[in-house]
């Protein structure tokens, strides 16, 4: 039996809204011969069942086992054709592709003038909306037609098309180079997280300088600037230069507000830009602008003009709720943030097919931190266990590392020290294997390992020693990343001052309010 999440057709059918299902049936029924078609019967069956099971399909008598693969492929294609016709999916890119297809059909019929007329209009629309790849394809087809049909309407038509093709090609090459660089840096960030030592830093710096193409900023269009800012942003994240992250994330978002129609044309990039701007503001602890940016993002996403589809809805859920949690972390209002747990759990289940494991684990880690901040260490451990037990998570090794360290602290706080020695050994081995045993982690493990030898009246003094030792690393270029995942210093201060950790963070937040 195939897993439902692995069967593409079943997942596609289950992703359809009521209106999309109704439209599909109308589309299929446009010709009477399709009314009893096998693929429609298969569609109705998959729509009814809760999980994909080939035995159920065979028992229905719709199709023989030897024909099932072909029937599924045909149904999949018909659903996509129906979705393509849906006005909701008729964005500029789809419309331009459609016009290019129409022009190609007219050209193949020898109707050159009609084809050129469609192409000229589509080309203007493509360039205006920064769809330069499609614009280049249009120019290439225009060139083919011009070699067979001399319009004579423009004296220097050949030169004009050659110049347009060259310019678009140069712009597309620049976009490709910048997008490749951005993607490679993003992949590095997901795999290993921030740079950990001078060797990592030099590797990233050398790679960035070598791969960054030469450019003049005034020659770049919207799309080229977008990828340029993305590349700089990921570079800044990798080297932990969070002020630089803020600078380029702000440029990214400002680019959309300077070209407002691009928000509707590229809603995914708009959402991502705002998410990274918020993340940068969180790292530099700029709470007032964080709140302002989050409120503006929420208002635009909820507005009737903002595009709506499954992918956008999933990303909006992910980014908005992750940053709502971050706001509570910034302000130390952990108790107030607990209402988000049910919303996030519901959203993860609803959007699971469109959210990758990496982003789900980040949400779990944030929920664990929320519970830790309220003093609910058992729930904190429960959510960290979801991360630690995830054997399929092949990325963001630093997240896995700090989940284990926080789990140790939560076990200690919960009085569950009967598991502590075993966990200490397991965590130590894991960190060694990941080559991620840094000073902050070493000090934490040493402190927790020695707890059994410390008398109660000595405990405050040991907390103070650990605090003094860790404070040295707060602004260390490579060690400071530990404090991004877990506010260890506030936890230690809470023990030293006899206050809840949330109160310590709130007091710090008031001092930092900008």
pLDDT in tens, 324-363: 999 999 888 999 999 999 999 999 999 988 888 888 999 9
Residue 465: inside a domain, yes or no? no
**% of residues, the chain, pLDDT over 90:** 41
Mean pLDDT across the chain: 86
- Among 74, 89, 104, identify where a domain stops: 89
- Are residue 38 and residue 51 in the same domain, yes or no? yes
- Are residue 142 and residue 85 in the same domain, yes or no? no
* More confidently predicted of 446 and 182: 182
Handedness of CA 312, 394, 350, 292 (dihedral sign): negative
- Among 45, 67, 89, identify where a domain stops: 89
- Are residue 58 and residue 122 in the same domain, yes or no? no
Residue 257: inside a domain, yes or no? no
Residue 84: inside a domain, yes or no? yes
* Average pLDDT of the segment spanning 454-461: 74
CA 226, chain centre distance (Å): 16
pLDDT in tens, 236-258: 999 989 999 999 999 999 999 99
- Are residue 35 and residue 107 in the same domain, yes or no? no
- Are residue 84 and residue 100 in the same domain, yes or no? no
Are 474 and 436 spatial neighbours (Cβ–Cβ below 8 Å)? Answer: no
Burial class (CB in 10 A: 0-12, 13-18, 19+), 280: buried
Residue 340: inside a domain, yes or no? no
Residue 478: inside a domain, yes or no? no
Are 502 and 373 spatial neighbours (Cβ–Cβ below 8 Å)? Answer: yes
pLDDT at 502: 83
pLDDT in tens, 181-220: 999 998 887 776 788 788 888 989 999 999 999 999 988 9
Question: Lowest mean pLDDT: which of 44-48, 277-281, 289-293, 323-327?
Answer: 44-48
Residue 65: inside a domain, yes or no? yes
pLDDT at 2: 39
- Are residue 81 and residue 97 in the same domain, yes or no? no
- Are residue 27 and residue 79 in the same domain, yes or no? yes
DSSP notation for 396-422: -HHHHHHHHHHHHHHHHHTT-TTTHHH
Confidence of residue 84 (pLDDT cuts 50, 70, 90): confident
d(CA 58, CA 54): 6
* Average pLDDT of the segment spanning 59-87: 87
- Are residue 130 and residue 142 in the same domain, yes or no? yes
pLDDT at 154: 56
Give the CA distances from residue 357 to residues 212, 420, 485, 492, in Å, rounded to whole numbers and listed in that order: 31, 28, 18, 32
- Are residue 15 and residue 82 in the same domain, yes or no? yes
Residue 80: inside a domain, yes or no? yes
The overall pTM is greater than 0.75:
yes
pLDDT at 83: 87
- Are residue 46 and residue 60 in the same domain, yes or no? yes
d(CA 449, CA 442): 10
Q: Which residues contact 242 (CB under 8 A, 6 or more apart)?
A: 236, 280, 283, 284
- Among 55, 89, 123, identify where a domain stops: 89
Are 31 and 84 spatial neighbours (Cβ–Cβ below 8 Å)? Answer: no
Residue 415: inside a domain, yes or no? no
Give the CA distances from residue 32 to residues 27, 28, 36, 83, 158, in Å, rounded to whole numbers and listed in that order: 11, 9, 8, 20, 50
Does the pLDDT value for residue 152 go beyond 60? no
pLDDT at 420: 66
d(CA 473, CA 479): 6
The domain in which residue 143 lies consists of: 92-153
- Are residue 77 and residue 107 in the same domain, yes or no? no
For the chain, the domain total comes to 2
- Are residue 29 and residue 55 in the same domain, yes or no? yes
Q: Which residues contact 303 (CB under 8 A, 6 or more apart)?
A: none
């Amino acid at each position: 039996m195939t897993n439902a999440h692995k069967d593409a057709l079943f997942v596609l059918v289950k992703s359809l809204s009521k209106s999309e299902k109704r439209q599909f049936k109308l589309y299929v029924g446009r010709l009477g011969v399709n009314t009893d078609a096998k693929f429609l019967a298969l569609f109705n069956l998959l729509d009814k069942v809760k999980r994909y099971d080939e035995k159920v399909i065979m028992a229905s008598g719709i199709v023989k086992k030897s024909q099932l693969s072909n029937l599924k492929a045909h149904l999949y294609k018909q659903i996509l054709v129906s979705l393509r016709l849906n006005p909701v999916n008729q964005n500029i890119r789809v419309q331009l592709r459609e016009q290019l297809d129409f022009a190609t059909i007219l050209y193949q019929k020898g109707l050159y003038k009609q084809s050129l007329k469609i192409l000229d209009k589509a080309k203007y629309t493509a360039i205006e909306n920064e769809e330069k790849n499609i614009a280049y394809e249009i120019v290439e087809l225009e060139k083919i037609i011009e070699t067979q049909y001399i319009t004579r309407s423009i004296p220097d038509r050949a030169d004009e098309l050659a110049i347009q093709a060259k310019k678009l090609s140069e712009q597309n090459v620049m976009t490709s180079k910048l997008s490749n660089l951005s993607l490679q840096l993003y992949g590095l960030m997901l795999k290993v997280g921030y740079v950990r030592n001078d060797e990592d830093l030099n590797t990233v710096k050398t790679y960035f300088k070598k791969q960054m193409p030469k450019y003049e900023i005034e020659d770049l269009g919207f799309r080229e600037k977008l990828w340029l800012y993305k590349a700089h942003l990921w570079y800044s994240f990798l080297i932990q230069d969070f002020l630089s992250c803020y600078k380029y994330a702000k440029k990214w978002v400002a680019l959309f507000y300077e070209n407002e129609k691009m928000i509707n044309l590229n809603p995914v990039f708009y959402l991502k830009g705002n998410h990274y701007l918020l993340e940068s503001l969180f790292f530099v602890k700029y709470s007032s602008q964080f709140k302002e940016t989050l409120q503006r993002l929420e208002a635009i996403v909820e507005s009737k003009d903002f595009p709506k589809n499954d992918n956008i809805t999933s990303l909006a859920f992910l980014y908005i709720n992750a940053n709502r949690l971050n706001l509570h972390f910034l302000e130390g209002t952990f108790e107030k943030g607990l209402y988000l747990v049910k919303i996030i759990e519901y959203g993860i289940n609803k959007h699971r097919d469109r959210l990758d494991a990496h982003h789900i684990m980040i949400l779990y880690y944030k929920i664990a931190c929320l519970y830790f901040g309220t003093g609910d260490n058992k729930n904190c451990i429960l959510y960290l266990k979801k991360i630690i037990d995830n054997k399929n998570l092949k990325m963001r090794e630093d997240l896995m590392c700090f989940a284990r360290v926080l789990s140790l602290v939560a076990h200690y706080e919960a009085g569950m020290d009967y598991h502590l020695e075993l966990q200490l050994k397991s965590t130590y081995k894991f960190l060694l294997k990941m080559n991620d045993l840094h000073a902050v982690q070493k000090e934490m493990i040493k402190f927790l390992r020695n707890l059994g030898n410390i008398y109660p009246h000595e405990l405050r003094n040991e907390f103070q020693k650990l605090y003094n030792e860790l404070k040295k690393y707060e602004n260390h270029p490579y060690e400071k990343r530990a404090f991004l995942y877990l506010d260890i210093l506030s936890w230690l201060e809470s023990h030293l001052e006899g206050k809840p950790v949330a109160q310590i963070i709130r007091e710090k937040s008031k001092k930092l309010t900008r």
